[in-house]
Chains A and B, each alone.
Chain A
Amino acid sequence: MTARTLYEKVWDSHVIKNYEDGTSLLYIDRHLVQEVSSPQAFAGLAAEGRKFRRPDAHIAVADHAVPTTDRHLPLPEGLAARQVARLKDNCARFGIGYIGMNDARHGIVHVMGPELGFTLPGATLVCGDSHTSTHGAFGAIAFGIGASECECVFATQSLRQRKQKTMRVNLVGRLGDGVTVKDIILALIARIGTNGGVGYAIEYAGPVIGQLSMEARMTLCNMSIEAGSRVGMVAPDETTIAWVSGRPLAPAGALLDRAITYWKGLPSDTGAVFDREVDLDVSALAPQVSWGTNPGETASVTGLVPDPTVETDPVKRQKMERSLAYMNLKPGTPLEEIAIDRVFIGSCTNGRLEDLRIAASVVSGRKVADNVAAIVVPGSATVRLQAEAEGLDRVFRDAGFEWRDSGCSMCVAMNDDRLKPGERCASTSNRNFEGRQGLGGRTHLMSPAMAAAAAIAGHLIDIRKLETMH
């Protein structure tokens, strides 16, 4: 048999049929449903009088629109309350599982799904949210879809798709002190570009992967979409199996043994051919920060705001000029001199326990700078409760951070957590688009360690210098 990649193995095992034109009908094992992309999908299904095919394959949670404060109170009347209520009503109507806002398992879909064991290696998983690539960290084919496709999965448990090309990103070397997986993915996007991965399913491989926790692998796969790839994957290994085993929706007993045998056959075969290979040595990597309005506009924190006049491609130059105008930055300014107003630690990219532990270790015994308002939004209630059990909430509060309830919060600014026009934020989220964190807000993407350091310093700073800052 020909050597196959991880992606091809999972793909092949889910093909219902191949059409003559080379597309396939792909079976979807799992669907995470949230409040923003589902109302029109449910409405479409109802309008056509279609049957919901397999309710047990879906689970829903409201994460985008929910507040991160005063959750014991009813939601204030308005659009967000209506959207959350609509999701709950639709779940009751169609018989699908719903995790409530005050449930101890509540969380951002991409944090909660893995925690519940809903996300499994070898599965196909979709969600009406582009960061669904996160779940590829388990060796699943997981991708974001639009509302029409959500409706299609409700009705048919399948999607017509064309198989992606494959790209392997080989991560070699050893991460230096203060450098994390967020810096790897930001550096990769800066290198291959925000559309460098369009048309490809990425597999992250190489010796660095074995050193990464599941949390770190999720951060890596999460931002694949920022390089244009809907799918980012890591082959399952012992770390994966240990993490999944014992989760409430994961298989148990003999079923788990059977699954593990299957999962162990998933890694790409020796000799499997990828359409593109990218090598990245992480050893020399410095902490990364974005300076512009897409995640590819990123540089080492040791560097300067770039100068558009040296860019020869006119479209790129124009984009850089626009980005710098929006970000109110002058070419040649050292990135470390950029003062900030806000810090956001959280999101489906970096709102997991490991992220909060790292950030807490940076802020422990220190104070948030006077010019900065900083919040920590755990990615799930599970993360929040575990962090509280470890006393991390106290560390953050003592340093001057606000400690919030779980949700997407200031990553997407659909609730009240948002920047004011002109405010500048050091953020652990995934997108620095214009207005992403609030109308006129300015976002610098970075790792949790770097955001924590920025909160203390009051400006962007190389985490590696913080020890000697006082």
Chain B
Amino acid sequence: MEKFTRLTSVAAPLAEADVDTDIIFPARFLLLLDKAGLGKHLFHERRHRRDGGMTDFVLNTPPFNEARILVADANFGSGSSREQAVWALADFGIRCVIAPSFGEIFFSNCFKNGVLPIVITGEAHANVMAAARTGQPFTVDLEAQTVLLPNGPALSFDIDPWRKRALLLGLDEIGGILADDAEDISAFEARHRVDNPWLFLDDGRMEQLLSQGDGK
């Protein structure tokens, strides 16, 4: 995973509540099988006119077309679990999203892809949004957990320590679990099997079910 340490960029203001993952990445593009190259479909309906031209959506408008930070509003990324929403943001170049609240699955997906979601609420969020509109660059410093607004104060934000570490070091979470926790998983699994054998399906029930299907 790409590391996230410190990022300086203009921040695109998207002052709209409840921007769901269907808006971020419309469902019809979910048929694609790859992670890469999805940025062209990001906010597709907002960025593209039906006649093929481009709209004046914020991410189409200089200097925000180069933005690596997005300042969004409440409940950003609500709805579907599609990680394509994050892959598309990252592919477009957005590495940090600041909003008062997020859809939970989207929020979690960000951390798997080197994208930093930051929760800033209330008046502080209003200041961030206003600062974004100026087109002046911000600096997001993950180590210090601050957002430095142009000519403004440094706003601090919270982040889970393990997620912070994973972003700072670009850690592969699955590799980490396999390296550090594999014995614990095996020990738990053995105990779980004894305590709750009805939860395990390797006793022939699954085979029997599958043998009755046509498999097509």
Interface presence of A434 (CB below 8 A): yes
A258 to B197 CA separation, bound complex (whole angstroms): 9
CB of A315 within 8 A of CB of B17, answer yes
Residues in A whose Cβ lies below 8 Å from that of B196: 13, 122, 259, 262
Given A23-B160, A123-B199, A434-B22; A48-B175 close (CB under 8 Å): yes
B residues contacting the other copy or chain, number (CB 8 A)? 69
Interface presence of B130 (CB below 8 A): no
Residues in B whose Cβ lies below 8 Å from that of A101: 216
Within A88-128, the residues touching B (CB, 8 Å) are 97-105, 116, 120, 122-123, 128
**Cβ contacts A204-230/B at 8 Å (1 or 0 each):** 000000000000000000000100101
A158 to B86 CA separation, bound complex (whole angstroms): 22
How close is B211's CB to chain A, nearest CB, in angstroms? 10
Residues in A whose Cβ lies below 8 Å from that of B83: 37, 40, 128, 146-148
**Cβ contacts A428-459/B at 8 Å (1 or 0 each):** 00010111100100000000000000000000
CB of A86 within 8 A of CB of B214, answer no
CB of A434 within 8 A of CB of B45, answer yes
How close is B49's CB to chain A, nearest CB, in angstroms? 12
CB of B214 within 8 A of CB of A103, answer yes
Residues in B whose Cβ lies below 8 Å from that of A294: 18, 20, 78
**Cβ contacts A4-23/B at 8 Å (1 or 0 each):** 00000000011011010101
The secondary-structure label for the interface of chain A is: loop
Interface presence of B208 (CB below 8 A): yes
A385 to B23 CA separation, bound complex (whole angstroms): 36
Across the interface, A198 reaches (CB within 8 A) one of B33, B104, B214, namely B104
CB of B33 within 8 A of CB of A39, answer yes
Residues in A whose Cβ lies below 8 Å from that of B75: 194-195, 198, 228
CB of B18 within 8 A of CB of A59, answer no
Given A56-B206, A82-B33, A258-B197; A412-B27 close (CB under 8 Å): yes
CB of A65 within 8 A of CB of B105, answer no
CB of B31 within 8 A of CB of A102, answer no
CB of A414 within 8 A of CB of B174, answer no
CB of B20 within 8 A of CB of A433, answer yes
Residues in B whose Cβ lies below 8 Å from that of A100: 213-216
CB of A230 within 8 A of CB of B162, answer no
Interface presence of B173 (CB below 8 A): yes
Across the interface, B80 reaches (CB within 8 A) one of A50, A130, A258, namely A130
Interface presence of A175 (CB below 8 A): no
Total cross-chain contacts (CB, 8 A) = 224
A59 to B18 CA separation, bound complex (whole angstroms): 33
Interface presence of B135 (CB below 8 A): no
Residues in B whose Cβ lies below 8 Å from that of A120: 198-199
Residues in B whose Cβ lies below 8 Å from that of A48: 174-175
CB of A194 within 8 A of CB of B161, answer no
Given A123-B199, A294-B20; A97-B184 close (CB under 8 Å): no
Given A21-B160, A100-B215, A146-B108; A27-B185 close (CB under 8 Å): yes
How close is B44's CB to chain A, nearest CB, in angstroms? 9
Within A56-107, the residues touching B (CB, 8 Å) are 56-57, 59, 64-65, 79-80, 82-83, 86, 97-105
Residues in B whose Cβ lies below 8 Å from that of A122: 196, 199
A430 to B129 CA separation, bound complex (whole angstroms): 31
With most chain A CB atoms within 10 A of its CB, the pick from B20, B175, B178, B209 is B209
Residues in B whose Cβ lies below 8 Å from that of A79: 31-32
Within B170-194, the residues touching A (CB, 8 Å) are 173-175, 177-178, 181-182, 184-185, 188-189, 192
**Cβ contacts A158-188/B at 8 Å (1 or 0 each):** 1010100000000000000000000000000
How close is B134's CB to chain A, nearest CB, in angstroms? 19
Given A21-B160, A40-B35, A433-B20; A16-B188 close (CB under 8 Å): yes
Interface presence of B202 (CB below 8 A): yes
Residues in A whose Cβ lies below 8 Å from that of B174: 48, 50, 151-152, 155-156
**Cβ contacts A131-162/B at 8 Å (1 or 0 each):** 01000000000001111110110011110101
Interface presence of A273 (CB below 8 A): no
- Which residue of A is nearest B216, CB measured? A100
CB of B181 within 8 A of CB of A16, answer yes
Interface presence of A330 (CB below 8 A): no
How close is A85's CB to chain B, nearest CB, in angstroms? 10
Given A97-B210, A433-B79; A50-B105 close (CB under 8 Å): no
Given contacts A294-B20, A322-B16, 11 further A-B contacts (CB under 8 A): A16-B181, A17-B181, A43-B34, A100-B213, A146-B86, A146-B105, A148-B113, A157-B189, A259-B196, A294-B18, A318-B17
Which A residues fall within an 8 A CB radius of B? 13-14, 16-17, 19, 21, 23, 25, 27, 29, 36-37, 39-40, 43, 48, 50, 54, 56-57, 59, 64-65, 79-80, 82-83, 86, 97-105, 116, 120, 122-123, 128-130, 132, 144-149, 151-152, 155-158, 160, 162, 194-195, 198-199, 225, 228, 230, 248-249, 251, 255-256, 258-259, 262, 293-294, 296, 315-316, 318-319, 322, 412-414, 421, 431, 433-436, 439
Which B residues fall within an 8 A CB radius of A? 15-18, 20, 22-23, 26-28, 30-35, 45, 50, 73-75, 78-83, 86, 101-105, 108-109, 112-113, 160-162, 173-175, 177-178, 181-182, 184-185, 188-189, 192, 195-202, 205-206, 208-210, 213-216
